[in-house]
């Protein structure tokens, strides 16, 4: 017969810094079940405004930043200074878009980004033949790649074959053109899952709070969102009303 669990004794070999350590609870020794989940949803901010990132990164809810040439232009600043300032905030994953007419140009510029910013930088490439060739080369040498401007399942399949870290379907732009961006997210996610493709689906061009929830619901791994959408995610009129009531009752 097995012995009952020991009460009130913590074995000398226990490592309290390990997620598998044993600890006393209600008099018994308990071994917690480790969290083995690896695919967890993430939020990125889609902005090149350093102040917007600084105001939100310390929530601990932002896992990365995406930028593009248009956002950099809107910032009115030197791109390299913007990237440096963002990284100095503690950002661990920054998508930096590179330009080039040929795959060799894109590879060269991507390697330059990596040399300047190291593993914090994810090289952002356009979903073109030249971009896919560059993606294959960069991923083969261990550089993360975010394939952008994706508008079809066929493009996403090629990105997966090229070993992209992220594929970025632009759901807002699709909706603007009477196409179903959310359905595309779902289709890509299903095909990646059934074929065990490691590329993560990064929903881009997300313009409202509702789209964030729907995108995650149909299989997006990551949503990159403007700062205003991030702020609005935490807001609800009924939360405000309820909090006001609770505060009144607390002070009564």
Residue 201 in contact with residue 159, Cβ under 8 Å? no
Residues with a catalytic annotation lie at 124
- In 6-44, which positions are buried (b, 16+ CB within 10 angstroms) versus exposed (e)? eeeeeeeeeeeeeeeebeeeeeebeeeeeeeeeeeebbb
For residue range 206-229, what is the model confidence (pLDDT) as tens digits? 999 999 999 999 999 999 999 999
Positions of E strands within the chain = 23-25, 28-30, 42-46, 62-66, 94-97, 121-126, 145-150, 166-169, 200-203, 222-225
Does this model's pTM top 0.85? no
* Average per-residue pLDDT for the chain: 89
The percent of residues above 70 in pLDDT, for the chain, comes to 85
Instruction: Give me the domains of the chain, ranges plus CATH numbers.
Output: 1-36 (no CATH), 42-233 (3.20.20.70)
pLDDT at 38: 54
For residue range 17-33, what is the model confidence (pLDDT) as tens digits? 444 444 444 555 544 55
pLDDT at 4: 43
Tokens of 123: 């090289």
Q: How confident is the model at residue 34 (pLDDT cuts 50, 70, 90)?
A: low
Pairing mode, if any, of strands 28-30 and 23-25? Answer: antiparallel
Measured distance CA(236)–CA(5) in Å, rounded: 47
Whether the pLDDT of residue 173 is over 60: the answer is yes
pLDDT at 27: 53
Residue 106 in contact with residue 134, Cβ under 8 Å? yes
Measured distance CA(229)–CA(153) in Å, rounded: 26
Tokens of 3: 């012995």
Measured distance CA(233)–CA(210) in Å, rounded: 9
Instruction: Check residue 168 and report its DSSP letter.
Output: E
Coil/strand/helix, residue 167 = strand
- DSSP secondary structure string for all residues of 145-166: EEEEEE-SHHHHHHHHHTT-SE
Angle at 62 between CA 210 and CA 140, to 5 degrees: 105
């Amino acid at each position: 017969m097995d012995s009952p669990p020991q009460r009130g004794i913590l074995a000398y070999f226990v490592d309290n810094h390990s997620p598998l350590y044993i600890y006393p609870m209600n008099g018994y020794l308990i071994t917690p079940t480790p969290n083995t989940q690896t695919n967890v949803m993430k939020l990125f901010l889609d902005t090149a405004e350093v102040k917007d990132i600084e105001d939100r990164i310390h929530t601990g809810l932002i896992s990365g930043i995406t930028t593009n040439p248009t956002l950099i232009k809107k910032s009115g600043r030197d791109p390299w200074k913007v990237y440096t300032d963002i990284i100095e905030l503690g950002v661990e994953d920054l998508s930096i878009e590179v330009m080039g007419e040929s795959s060799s140009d894109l590879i060269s510029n991507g390697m330059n980004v990596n040399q300047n910013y190291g593993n914090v930088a994810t090289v952002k490439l356009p979903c073109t033949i030249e971009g896919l060739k560059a993606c294959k080369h960069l991923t083969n040498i261990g550089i993360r790649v975010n394939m952008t401007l994706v508008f079809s399942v066929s493009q996403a399949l090629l990105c997966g074959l090229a070993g992209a870290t992220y594929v970025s379907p632009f759901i807002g732009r699709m909706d603007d053109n009477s196409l179903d961006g959310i359905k595309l997210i779902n289709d890509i996610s299903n095909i990646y899952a059934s074929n065990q493709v490691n590329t993560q689906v990064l929903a881009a061009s997300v313009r409202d709070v509702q789209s964030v929830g729907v995108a995650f619901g149909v299989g997006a791994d990551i949503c990159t969102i403007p700062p205003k959408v991030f702020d609005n995610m935490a807001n609800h009129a009924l939360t405000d009303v309820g909090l006001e009531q609770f505060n009144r009752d607390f002070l009564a």
